[in-house]
Amino acid sequence: MTTSHYIAGHWVEGQGSDCISVNNPALGQPFAELMAASVSQVDQAVAAARSALPAWKSTCASERAAFLRGFAEQLGQRREALVTLQMRNNGKPRHEAEIDLDDAIATFGYYAGLAEQLPSKNRTVPLAAPGFTARTRLEPVGVVGLIVPWNFPLVTSAWKLAPALAAGCTVVLKPSEVTPLIEQAYGQIADALGLPAGVLNIVNGKAETGAALSNHNGLDKLSFTGSNSVGSQVMRSASAQCRPVTLELGGKSAIVVFDDCDVDQAVEWIVAGISWNAGQMCSATSRLLVQDGIADALLPRLQAALENLRVGNPLTEEVDMGPLTSQAQWLKVASYFATAREEGLQCLAGGHALDREGWFVSPTLYTDVPKDSRLWTEEIFGPVLCARRFATEEQAIAEANDSRFGLVATVCSADLERAERVADALEVGHVWINSVQAVFVETSWGGTKGSGIGRELGPWGLSAYQSVKHVTRCLG
């Protein structure tokens, strides 16, 4: 595969120095290669987006909405190919890959609806001072760079691309070099719909390509989802240009289980929070806080549930959990297993890589983990769960909030008044009560503390790509 970049409405060959190897993590083997974009090609993509901006932002909102609905329909028509590619390149079980696709489809449909409402958002502003009139305009922020991760590539790109296009922005999208293929569907769809050339541009590459985009002075905004280490570099680039940035970064989230819970139901929520996408989620609830009164009953059942998860190749087996998506991530998780042994942590389940081809690890549970353990404080990005006990509601809140991250949390309790009270006290951006991590496009996504800046999804996601202009006129 050589024509892997979509620039100014054309597919072009990569001219960069990096060769990207695309792997099947269940086998640990490559199945495709492509050449990265050069710095010059990033320049071309930004220039194309800049050239397309005046006409695109002037397009009526209903026409932009029609394009977004077209993206949703076209994604649905490509269902089997996109689901299979997620299974092959990400290692996702089929049911997870299908949910990802449905999420992307729903996102484009939702922002099509918001785009249609945009004309009504421009309104007259009442003034206390006589002799003046004022009105408000919501305008596209301009040309935006979108950098997306490898764990939810089709989904995260939809969360950024749909509201940006709805707002009237033009974009340059850089997928992860680990999963560069699935976002090419957006370029194919743009062709099929007749999206004006330059409105959507896609450049693939590694660190050099990402740096060229994030440092580019032709951007008006940058939106990044990924690790804190790279996010800090993106933020430095944004600060040098004094331009807005949205950062959706890491997490070390807590799931709090009170002793009035149904044990089996609690186990289901806990397992889902740590094993979905093999734990490769910024929202993984990897810190389990379990109340003393239920701990002795819950932990053995949780151990059994994790040990009974079917782990394997989603293309050839019925599985609950697939492999880690890259060898680098597999090595990282294995290093935490070694750290746990060095720290003498008590391991109830897993704690090792699986002895088979591919990048598989066992679903893992450590108990009575000290608060200063690296496994308790650092984002692992794998199916590694650490548990601690608590006595009181106040203690649970304090320990849940004792983190440099603040992305999400889950509260499990039959006492709904208490669950709501605890949810209000948690220093995070999203809380689930008695639920798996169901994410809806109408709600917001983003965190506090070190988990990022800004919000995606809902009307907040659209606002991230809009600027506010006031026009004040003297009547005299």
Helix axes 184-193, 153-167, angle to 10 degrees: 40
Spot the catalytic one: 183, 248, 399, 456: 248
Those residues whose C-beta lies under 8 Å from the C-beta of residue 398, and which sit 6 or more positions away, are: none
Q: Where are the alpha helices (DSSP H) in 347-408?
A: 374-377, 393-401
Catalytic-role residue among 282, 379, 386, 456? 282
Contact yes or no for 27/358 (Cβ under 8 A): yes
Q: Which residue has the tokens 């922020």?
A: 141
Would you give the distance in Å from CA 193 to the centre of its chain? 26
Name the burial class of residue 14, with classes exposed (0-12), middle (13-18) and buried (19+) by CB atoms within 10 angstroms of its CB.
buried
Would you call 474 a catalytic residue per the annotation? no
For the chain, report the end-to-end CA distance as a whole number of angstroms. 65
Give the orientation angle of helix 39-58 with respect to helix 207-214, to 10 degrees: 40
- What is the spatial distance between Cα 435 and Cα 266, in angstroms, rounded to a whole number? 9
CA distance 364 to 347: 8
What's the burial of 378, exposed, middle or buried (CB within 10 Å: 0-12/13-18/19+)? middle
Among 11, 107, 70, 109, which Cα is nearest to 189's? 70
Residue 248 among the catalytic residues: yes
Report, in this order, helix, strand and coil percent for the chain, each rounded to 5: 40, 20, 35
The residues annotated as belonging to the active site are 248, 282
